[in-house]
Amino acid sequence: MKIHADTVIVGTGVAGLFAALSLPRNLNIVMITKADLESSDSFLAQGGICVLRDEEDYDSYFEDTMRAGHYENRRESVDIMIRGSRQIIRELVGYGVEFAKDSNGGFAYTREGAHSRPRILFHEDITGKEITSHLLDQVRKLENVTLYEYTEMTDIIEEKGRCTGVLARKGEERIAIRAPFTILASGGIGGRYRHSTNFPHLTGDAIDIAKKHGIRLEHLDYVQIHPTTLYSRKPGRRFLISESVRGEGAWLLNRDGERFVDELLPRDVVTEAIQKQMEKDGTDHVWLSMAPIPREKILSHFPNIYRHCLEEGYDVTRERIPVVPAQHYFMGGIWVDSESRTSMPCLYAAGETSCNGVHGANRLASNSLLESLVFARRAAKDIARRTAQETLDMAEQKIV
């Protein structure tokens, strides 16, 4: 089967969806996803999305991101993300996304680990689902976008050193999708781990394909372990206990019910402390207590976490829960520049499969959704600019 498009996008998480929404409506766009449309990690994001609250917040937001990333971040990318945050939030609200409000009707902000002040917008504890579902609804309305589910990218098409589309398979059917521009937004690598918060089908396919074609990769060893997932002996994806739970005051406790770490330190530091505590106690988990958080706040801010834990036999309003670190996020990936361009002409990458340097060696909580949206939009705008320029050049050639 052969398909022709103006742009092909691999992945239907926030990066892929927002890129499609940001491309010109006169372009024919084909989007493919390995599973169903809602099985992307973007739907799983619990905590929230960061935003620059005001100009006075810039320096501290920048420093928080750099410090969490051990100052290995690409400074230009961090600046781009922060300064683009308010525009992103305006666009999301325009698409119908609802964030929690305070008593005055303004945005309510929460705080998570390694943030020096509250600057995170949220929708209960299902912020990713709130954002991604609205973006998906908007994309479904676009007449210029065709969506293919259960369609797995098997390779890119390379001709004369540039990308001219992708090869894919859907069941037994083989598909060649040719397009002047390609955006890889196929997610992370959690499916390669025994314990992960990711969907198991996210196995870093784009990374393997990029390596095969000699496309530049960066920091493949930068893998973030989330400190708190609900401990279980059951196989499969681990349920995330959001960073914002600790941001609202929850405690991490050892076997004797004692706190052993500052819960608001960066994720890698907290994870290391938990690992050491488990070794010291001779246990395979530690405990998280939400006792410092009022019951009403738990039920309003964390209803999904409350329900899931209850299904597992834990009432978080009355008892502590067992938690353990698990693979969560990939900070490395396919190297891209500030416009999300890879080292191969006409090939872009955005979201977790890319590495634009925002996160450095360790991602600051709730920067992932924002980073994906900002740089997906930049990829789309660069494609739009190049398409317009090519159209202008062709018109001038006809006149000559």
Active-site residue list: 267
Q: What is the distance between the alpha carbons of residues 96 and 199, in angstroms, rounded to a whole number?
A: 26
What is the identity of the amino acid at 378? R
Nearest 5°: CA angle at 176, between 170 and 182? 105
- For residue 129, CA distances in Å to 13, 40, 48, 124, 164 come to 10, 10, 10, 10, 32
Across 16-46, b (16+ Cβ under 10 Å) vs e yields bbbbbbbbeeebbbbbbbbbebebbbbbbbb
